[in-house]
Amino acid sequence: MANPLLTNNNLKNFIETLKLADEQKKFLIDELPQMDVKERMELLETLEKVYLLNEEEKEALKKIKDNWQK
């Protein structure tokens, strides 16, 4: 596997940092050993999108809170 981002440990760490249900995290982590490089790339792309959505949600909540307190 050429890309070090696609290792089991790196993907597992990324999955664990995301705001996902415990069942989803467990499923993804359990499936990692059977995934080929293409599946891992697709998973990484999806995880990146989830991360960005989580960050957007966090920012939106901060803006609402800041505006509410004015």
**pLDDT tens-place string over residues 4-48:** 889 999 999 999 999 899 999 999 999 999 999 999 999 999 999
Which of 18-22, 51-55, 64-68 shows the lowest mean pLDDT across its residues?
64-68
Alpha helices in 1-70 (DSSP H): 8-17, 22-31, 37-68
Query: Is it the case that residue 1 has pLDDT exceeding 90?
Result: no
Domain regions of the chain by residue span: 4-68
- Kindly give, in sequence order, each residue whose CB lies less than 8 Å from that of residue 15, ignoring residues fewer than 6 positions away: 25, 28, 29, 47
Write down the pLDDT at residue 2: 63
pLDDT at 70: 65
